[in-house]
Amino acid sequence: MNGFFRTVATTAIAAAALIGATTAHAEGERYVLVSHAPDSDSWWNTIKNALALAGEQMDVEVEYRNPPTGDLADMARIIEQAAASGPHGIITTLADPNVLSGPIRAAVDSGIDVIIMNSGTPEAAREVGALMYVGQPEYDAGFAAGQRAADDGVQSFLCVNHYISSPSSSERCQGFADGLGVELGSQMIDSGQDPAEIQNRVMAYLNANPGTDAVLTLGPTSADPTILALEQMGLAGDIYFGTFDLGGDIVQAIRDGIIQWGIDQQPFLQAYLPVVVMTNYHRYGVLPGNNINSGPGFVTADALDLVSELAGEYR
Amino acid sequence: MAETGQGAVAAPVKDERVKETSALRKALIRPELGAIVGTIAVFIFFILFAGDSGMFNAQGILNWSTVSAQFMIIAVGACMLMIAGEFDLSVGSMIGFAGMSIALIAVTLQWPVWIAILLTFALCVAIGALNGFIVVKTGLPSFIVTLAFLFILRGFTIFFPQLIERQTIIGGISDAAEGDWLAPMFGGKIAGPFFDWLASIGVIDVFERGTRAGQPIVDGIPMLIVWALVLVVVAHTILTRTQFGNWIFAAGGDAQAARYVGVPVNRVKILMFMFTAFCATVFATCQVIEFGSAGADRGLLKEFEAIIAVVIGGALLTGGYGSVVGAALGALIFGVVQQGLFFAGVESSLFRVFLGVILLFAVILNTYIRRIITGER
């Protein structure tokens, strides 16, 4: 069995070297961020980078953990395990309160401070005993967008809802209508997911309601066909056009002046701010008195160069 | 190559046909030897590198034992099936499917949870039998047949909840399971008073605040762990102490030779497919009852985790050789490493690197041990 023990010893030394390289068990604060995203989800790379940056700037130890396949039951175990390792704080998403509220509640009750980021709502965060919620509340984002449009002289609008079964999509339209100060009714159309259908419905609505001032789309799925529809009708650049989320075609349309602004929920802040908030809370006992909205950040033609330069890294 | 040792050693008369082997050599050539050594090595490693990180306090132990028990439940099924010479790649999809089935019956149809659980068990074991029947009747490799079911079951798991509830996560099972007699068998905890006592003498911590302040952080052993241990003991007993156990080894070692000596190979294989499905359903039921919701993405890649645990435990991919205890230890190693790397503070994306390295070492070691046993060089 000598060969075997030699291999064991080699592994142990190799592993020890790896561990030694990755941890510097500092005396200072330690925070763990647990996400629900599988390894393959590149959107979360921004979160990882922002977390590392915050750890560096605040001089605290930060760790990023996620279930490799995105399995929420595995995520619950990771939260339990994070709690068992006794960090100063846990930053986590609340993707499914059914599965996650138990482990989060247990972590809070065992004396670990928790901040909810990204998925979830301020109410759900309060229910599990979290310090605060850092994310983009959909209604508030829509409301801010509506106010911005109102300032630009918009009085009526069309909301292209491609995901009408999801309550948060409708909240975006509702917020926009309230920010604009108009009643939400038939301006919100159920466009479906098919690009051709979306394009035709937008054209049909705008033909039937020629006095419409503005178009709001809820993401690349509805924005891209809407751009085509406006180009066909000769309205591109003429009608006021705002959208949620960013994507390749949207960025190009902003550059071409077809879209006035895109709403960015700014994932950077969702990872960065909780670390800053918790570190200051643990060091000096200060805590902001409310939840923090990481969005809406409005991306316009002016700021476009910075966005495309840092896309995938910090934006 | 069937393991003939344990079944026949009872002969009191010295028989010239039975080769004498020393006790030490017998101890050395057990299939689970590699897993035993590996388990010890893994524990020593983590005690050295993560001993003060909370990994070995009550909460930490519960954490990695629960994860290991999850692996153990599916590894036991996969191990028995692998010894019988077949694979099941549909285990992960079966977990998602079974969980969704319970959720749809209990929440959407509003039927009692115990009926949902029993119906789901019947359905899933029947699908396992179908898997086995197709493999046995067509003679196709089980790799292909169960790969087909991996996709079929996952597809249904996404399709049905979207069709019926327009979402892919179904919650509300906790409310439905309130007062149910069968649900605590899967999602409950036992030995609560013992942990209260441990907390009262200060061995384990108590919650500092909240509605459960003063209660112990660990308030019992989850039924998940109990199921894992029961399955291991039962499967080990069947495999090593019964005639049926010898049939399993024979069916996987050389099916044709086994048929010649009268082993009902087809029946054995189909039963093993059913047992694997049963284990996957146990896993799913524990998960659904504990977390109160079923998701269409539950159980992704679990089939490979089960196979990895079994192979670390010393079973041969070609069948006919292996041990349930080995598979259980393989699951323990897997669980301890997965959770322990985090306690030791390793970057999480390196977990797969470690997993691959451990798998490779385990297979090399097991091959070495097998050569000693069979005498091949």
| CB distance A133 to A117 below 8 Å | yes
Report chain A residues whose CB lies below 8 A from the CB of B335. none
Beta-bridge mates of residue B170: B294
Region B294-314: what's the mean pLDDT? Answer: 87
Cα–Cα distance measured from residue A167 to residue B254, given in angstroms and rounded to the nearest whole number: 58
Digit-coded pLDDT (tens) for B85-117: 998 999 999 999 999 999 999 998 999 999 999
> Tell me, what's the pLDDT at B242?
94
Whether B214 has a pLDDT exceeding 80, the answer reads: no
Considering the domain boundaries, does residue A184 fall inside one? yes
Output the pLDDT for position A105: 93
The yes-or-no verdict on residue B76 having pLDDT over 60 is yes
**The pLDDT of residue B318 is above 80:** yes
Q: Is it the case that residue A269 has pLDDT exceeding 70?
A: yes
> Is residue A204, in this structure, part of any structural domain at all?
yes
Cis bond leading into A68, ω under 30°? no
**pLDDT for position A295:** 82
* Better pLDDT: A59 or B14: A59
Residue A17 structure tokens:
């070297």
Q: Considering the entire predicted model, what is its pTM?
A: 0.78
Q: What is the pLDDT of residue A126?
A: 92
The answer on pLDDT for B27 being more than 70 is no
What pLDDT does B3 receive?
A: 46
Q: Do B343 and A105 touch (CB under 8 A)?
A: no
Of B159-173, B217-231, B264-278, give the lowest mean pLDDT range.
B159-173
pLDDT of residue A11: 54
Report whether pLDDT(B351) > 80. no
B chain contacts of residue A129, beta-carbon cutoff 8 Å: 210
Distance from CA of A4 to the nearest CA of B (A): 7
The answer to whether residues A48 and A128 belong to one domain is yes
Nearest-neighbour CA in chain A from B178: distance (Å): 15
State the pLDDT confidence band at B12, using cuts at 50, 70 and 90.
Answer: low
* Interface contact flag, A111 B67, Cβ < 8 Å: no
Same domain, A90 and A192: no
Residues of B whose CB is below 8 A from A98: 169, 171-174, 291-293
Instruction: Give the pLDDT score at A80.
Output: 92
Q: What is the DSSP letter of B20?
A: P
CB neighbour list of residue B256: distance below 8 Å, 6 or more residues apart: none
How many CB atoms neighbour CB B139 within 10 A? 7
Does residue A127 belong to the interface with chain B, where contact is any CB pair within 8 Å?
no
Are A32 and A46 part of one and the same domain? yes
**Co-location of A145 and A252 in the same domain:** yes
Q: Report the candidate in B173, B185, B168 with the shortest Cα–Cα distance to residue B286.
A: B185
Instruction: With cut-offs at 50, 70 and 90, classify the pLDDT of residue B4.
Output: very low
Do A250 and A164 fall within a single domain?
A: yes
Contact B342 A82 (CB under 8 A): yes
% of chain A surpassing 90 pLDDT: 48
Are residues A194 and A221 both part of a single domain? yes
Highest-scoring range by mean pLDDT, A306-310, B252-256, B282-286: B282-286
User: Among all residues of chain A, which has the CA nearest to that of B67?
Assistant: A77
> Which chain A residues are closer than 8 Å to B172 by Cβ?
98
ipTM over 0.85: no
Query: Nearest C-alpha of chain A: how many angstroms from B201?
Result: 18
Asked, for residue B63, whether it belongs to a domain, the answer is yes
| Average pLDDT value over all residues in chain B | 86
CB contact under 8 A, A99 and B293: yes
A63 touches chain B (CB under 8 A): yes
- Residue A10 in contact with partner chain B when CB distance is under 8 A: no
Inter-chain contact A12–B344, Cβ cutoff 8 Å?
no
Together in a domain, A52 and A196:
no
Residue A7 has pLDDT above 60, yes or no: no
Q: Tell me the CATH number at A128.
A: 3.40.50.2300
**A241 and A274 assigned to the same domain:** no
Nearest CA in chain A to B339: A81
Quick one: what percent of chain B has pLDDT higher than 70?
93
What is the model's pLDDT at position A171?
Answer: 85
pLDDT for position B198: 82
Answer yes or no: do B295 and A72 touch at CB < 8 A: yes
One DSSP character per residue, A196-253 reads HHHHHHHHHHHHH-TT--EEEE-SHHHHHHHHHHHHHHT-TTTSEEEEES--HHHHHH
Residue B152 lies in a domain: yes
| A12 close contact with B: CB closer than 8 A | yes
Residue with tokens 């119906």: B119
Q: Please indicate whether, in this complex, the C-beta atoms of A77 and B339 are within 8 angstroms of each other.
A: yes
Residue numbers in B near A4 (CB within 8 A) = 37, 365, 368
Quick check: is B23 in a domain? no
For the ranges A145-159, A194-208, B211-225, B253-267, which has the lowest average pLDDT? B211-225
Report whether pLDDT(B213) > 80. Answer: no
Number of domains comprising chain B: 1
Domain for residue B15, yes or no?
A: no
Q: Which pLDDT value is given to residue B375?
A: 66
Q: B229-256 burial, b if ≥16 CB within 10 A, otherwise e?
A: eebbeebbebbbeeeebbbbbbbbbbbe
B-proximal residues of A, 226-285, CB under 8 Å: none
In a domain, A103, yes or no: yes
Instruction: Please provide the average confidence, as pLDDT, over all residues in chain A.
Output: 86
Are A270 and A132 contained in the same domain? yes
Please tell me whether residues A131 and A186 are part of one structural domain: no
CB neighbourhood size of A7 (10 A): 16
Instruction: Indicate the pLDDT class of residue A14, thresholds 50, 70 and 90.
Output: low
In a domain, A180, yes or no: yes
Confidence of residue A10 (pLDDT cuts 50, 70, 90): low
CA distance A73 to chain B (A): 7
* C-alpha distances out from residue B95 to A37, A68, A273, B152, B374, Å: 20, 17, 38, 13, 37
Domain count for chain A: 2
**Residues of A (18-47) whose Cβ lies below 8 Å from B:** 18-19, 22-23, 25, 39
Is A70's CB within 8 Å of B172's CB?
Answer: no
Kind plus residue range of the DSSP H or E element containing A124: helix A122-127
Q: The domain that contains B234 carries what CATH number?
A: 1.10.3470
Cβ-based contacts of A99 with chain B (< 8 Å): 291-293, 295
- What pLDDT score does A54 carry? 95
* Residue B60 confidence class, pLDDT cut points 50, 70, 90: confident
Contact residues, chain B, for A10 at CB < 8 Å? none
**pLDDT range class, residue A20, cuts 50, 70, 90:** very low
Q: Does A158 touch chain B (CB under 8 A)?
A: no
- Give the pLDDT of residue A51: 94
Chain A residue closest in CA terms to B340: A81
CB atoms B60 and A69 under 8 Å: no
CB burial class (10 A; 0-12, 13-18, 19+) of residue B376? exposed
Contact A139, A171 (CB under 8 A): yes
Chain B nearest-CA distance from A85, in A, is 5
Tokens of A145: 């967008």
pLDDT at res. B377: 52
The answer to whether position A300 is within a domain reads no
From A78, A85, A109, residue closest to B209, measured CB to CB: A109
Among A64, A78, A99, whose Cβ lies nearest the Cβ of B291? A99
**Chain B contact set for A19 (CB, 8 A):** 49, 344-346
Please determine, for residue A239, whether its predicted confidence score (pLDDT) is greater than 60.
Answer: yes
Containing structural domain, residue B78: 32-187+221-374
pLDDT one-digit tens code per residue, A163-179: 776 677 888 899 999 99
Is position B64 within any domain?
yes
Mean pLDDT to the nearest integer, B320-339: 90
Provide the domain limits for residue A173. Answer: 138-264
N residues, chain A: 315
Is residue B248 within 8 Å of residue B83, measured between CB atoms? yes
Q: What is the DSSP letter of B311?
A: H
Which single residue is written with the structure tokens 């061995």? B203
Residue A186, classed as helix, strand or coil, is coil
Q: Which residue has the higher pLDDT, B175 or B286?
A: B286
Q: Per the structure block, which two tokens stand in for B321?
A: 């050789």
Minimum distance, in Å, between the CA of residue A301 and any CA atom of chain B: 37
Q: Which of A38, A39, A32 is nearest to A62 (CA)?
A: A32
Mean of the pLDDT values across residues B173-189? Answer: 87
Long-range contacts of B107-115 (CB under 8 A, 24+ apart): B107/B170, B107/B171, B107/B172, B107/B173, B107/B176, B108/B164, B108/B165, B108/B170, B110/B176, B112/B180, B113/B173, B113/B176, B113/B177, B113/B180, B113/B182, B113/B183, B113/B289, B114/B180, B114/B181, B114/B182, B114/B183
